[in-house]
Structure 1
Amino acid sequence: MAIAPTIPLDQPGAHHGFLRLPYSRDDSAWGSVMIPISVIQGGEGPTALFVGGNHGDEYEGPIALRDLALTLDPGAIEGRVIILPALNAPAIAAGTRTSPIDRGNLNRSFPGRADGTVTQKIAHYVASELVPLADLVLDMHSGGKTLDFVPFAAAHVLPDAAHQEACAAAMRAFNAPFCAMMLEIDAVGMFDTEVEAQGKTFVTTELGGGGTATAASVGIARKGVHNLLHHMGILPGAPKIGPSQMLDMPDGACFTFAQVGGLCETLVDLGAPVQAGQSVARVWPMGASGVAPTVYTAGLDGILISRHFPGLIQPGDCLAVVGVPVAG
């Protein structure tokens, strides 16, 4: 059986239910994975698809979107808002980045498979059934348990200039403290890539990290989702726009990766300026004393926008990311 919604996706009013994904397992032969969904529909207008919990250890999206589902009045909007606050429901329940069912990373599983694993089936349903309904898609992320970020909304450089500008305009409307034209390490299988390939306006975020959410980061998320509804004309009025620093990620020199494992010492705080060649972290060997650490440096001038969060690091882990402030 395919994934089936327990609520209508195209009826006026506020509807709250689930996407029911049949999943036969040892403790429930005819069991299901239940993915929460809300659809708030008012008068004629565009459709926004808002997603949180793509990764299960990132919490600003799940909190802000549950609040939106509870409080958004269908009589006050022109259009439709489809809200998935816990898209990777098994991972959300476990507090893990990947699904405990199949170890699938949902954000590397698009466009998915109708006959695949649980994670692939979720990706396939979203890509084939929900994204085509949307005019704008927001996928809310933070750093999870292993990274921490300055709070930013992001868009990508795209082949079509008009499509890129539509995404960038929505990114600016979200109005996080930072905006980034984001360079992905590996875009294959990402939700971002699927949505953009379908020609939809797409915005993503990184709103903090460390496997938790703060009052500040949730406040940014709440403001951002309402701003996007104003930007789309789904809610009346204009977005509430405050200061936001634009960032560029021009190439792979933005990223610094650990080549050895050990005790991670961050030398630069998030948001602080750095120069190319400046030391940004040291990794101390765990099994010895009196041994010098391995020093890692920034690849370009800018500010530190992300850092490894846990105290221990493994070879190949991302240690630091530098973004370049730009005007505009």
Structure 2
Amino acid sequence: MSESTHGAIPGLIPPSPVSPTIDLQAPGARHGHLRLPWSRNDSAWGNLMIPVSVIAGDRPGPTALITGANHGDEYEGPLAILDLAHSLAPSEVAGRVILLPFMNHPAFRAGTRVSPIDGVNMNRCFPGGPDQSITRQIADYVFRALVSPADIVLDFHSGGKTLDFLPFAASHVLGDPGHDARCAAAARAFNAPYTVKMLEIDNVGMLDTAVESLGKTFVTTELRGGGTATAESVGVARKGLRNVLIHAGILDEPPEVGPSRFLDMPSLDCFTFAREAGLLEMLVDLGQPVRRGQTIARIWPTDRSGAAPEPCLAGLDGVLAARHFPGLIQPGDTVSVVAVEDPEAAAG
């Protein structure tokens, strides 16, 4: 197959402009790039080169797709994926592991949430399109060529520069009970310090939604944030990645298991949004209990002194699971997320 047609996806008109520089099907460990032509001022016939690795064993088994840097300012996933790409041997693998450490590579290189090329949030543009902007072209290829053959997808996230989370793995509430149970079991197997049944406030165009629409097992994470990574958060990511591959039947080794608290996000009452701009003062730290109506943060005005702050109230009883990270906040920003203990999930 020539290079010009290697990236074509059967049944897709027009074909994807993305082409892999390695054979994604062959056994063994292969490391290369997804090449996407990108003509620009400093390179008329240039390309985006998105790193990809495939570790395929000689034993049959499922296919796992592992992605990081869906948002470019989130680092635990890329670090865990790079480590696995370097260390995982084909002899350990039943099936295939596709590793995409920097899915939104332009955003990752810039350290930004969205792509600096077209201003598109990759996790709001799935399934994308082969004749659309750069970010949507990448999303289209990932969805059609990498998600399609996968049995399980793990997409790493953390809070980036603007949020900080308790370290958790998550699944979503899904319409099909069997599908819901499969995703919840995989999130449980990740074995983060917290396991969450997650409510998204904006799930249109997410990779999560696109993968789940195909009935595939999907796990996501939020592993702290602040636009950096810690030894603890990267350790959670490394352990969880191997645990998910063990759960899928791709790795044959005992999982590393520790305690995990089970939380639920039952409604939009979990979220508190800023009504004013100003300087944010958190009154509760992550993991601490809160009560409905409690003032969990205050927003102080920055254009005058001697004025009272704007109180930010919890919408329900629970624990503080996420918070705005920068010191300054704007109207509409998420101040905090409160999750509730889920004894039923813990018992299961």
User: TM-score interval w.r.t. the shorter chain?
Assistant: over 0.9
Deviation at 1:114, TM superposition (A): 0.6
* 3-state SS of 1:37 partner: strand
> Which residue number corresponds to residue 183 of structure 1?
199
Kindly provide the CA deviation profile for residues 235-276 of structure 1, in whole angstroms up to 9, marking residues without a partner as x: 103322211001000000000000110000001000000000
Q: Which residue type is aligned with residue 65 of structure 1?
A: I
Aligned-partner SS, 2:173 = coil
* Percent identity of paired positions between Structure 1 and Structure 2: 63
Report if the CA contact (8 A) 1:155-1:182 is conserved.
yes
Aligned equivalent of 1:206: 222
Residues 199-218 of structure 1, C-alpha deviations (whole Å, 9 max, x = no match): 11000000000000000000
Cα distance in 1, alignment partners of residues 27 and 145 from structure 2? 19
Give the match for residue 303 of structure 2.
287
Residue 39 of structure 1 corresponds to 54
> How far apart, in 2, do the equivalents of 1:128 and 1:38 lie?
17
Gaps of 5+ in 2: 1-15
Partner residue of 1:16 out of 18, 31, 40: 31
Match of 1:304 in 2: 320
Runs of 4+ residues over 2 Å off in structure 1: none
Q: How many angstroms apart in 1 are the aligned matches of 2:257 and 2:29?
A: 28
Amino acid at match of 2:126: F
User: Could you say which residue in structure 2 is the equivalent of 1:116?
Assistant: 132
Q: Which amino acid aligns with 1:119?
A: T
Distance 2:215 2:183 in 1: 10
3-state secondary structure, aligned to 2:61: strand
Alpha-carbon distance in 2 for matches of 1:76, 1:274 = 45
TM-aligned CA deviation for residue 77 of structure 1: 1.1
Letter in 2 for 1:220: V
Could you say which residue in structure 2 is the equivalent of 1:221? 237
- CA distance, structure 2, for counterparts of residue 32 and residue 194 of structure 1: 26
**Secondary structure of 2:148's aligned partner:** helix
Note the 1:23-62 alignment, pairs <5 A.
Answer: 23-42=38-57, 43-62=59-78
Residue 88 of structure 1 corresponds to which residue in structure 2? 104
Q: Which runs of 5+ in 1 are unaligned?
A: none
In the alignment, residue 81 of structure 1 is paired with which amino acid? Answer: V
Equivalent residue, structure 1, for 2:264: 248
- For these two proteins, the number of residue pairs brought into alignment is 328
2:50 maps to amino acid: I
1:133 aligns with 2:149: yes
1:230 alignment partner, one of 246, 254, 259: 246
**AA of the residue aligned to 1:195:** V
Letter in 2 for 1:268: V
* Equivalent residue, structure 2, for 1:64: 80
Whether the 8 Å CA contact 1:52–1:62 is kept in 2: the answer is yes
Contact 1:14–1:73 at 8 Å: present in 2 too?
yes
CA distance in 1, matches of 2:275, 2:49: 40
Q: How much has 1:326 moved relative to structure 2?
A: 1.4
Which whole-Å CA distance do the structure 1 matches of 2:108 and 2:92 have between them? 31
Letter in structure 2 aligned against 1:200: K
AA matched with 2:69: G
Write the distance in 1 (CA, Å) between the matches of 2:206 and 2:93: 30
1-side partners of 2:42 and 2:316: how far apart?
53
Please state if 1:77 is matched with 2:126. Answer: no
- Alpha-carbon distance in 1 for matches of 2:152, 2:143: 13
Query: Distance in 2 between the 1:58 and 1:301 partners?
Result: 29
Q: Match of 1:83, as an amino acid?
A: L
Alignment match, 2:13 = none
Shift of residue 76, structure 1, vs aligned partner: 1.3
State the SS of the aligned residue for 1:196. Answer: helix
**Residues 231, 238 of structure 1: 8 Å contact kept:** no
**Structure 2 CA distance for aligned equivalents of residues 55 and 63 of structure 1:** 14
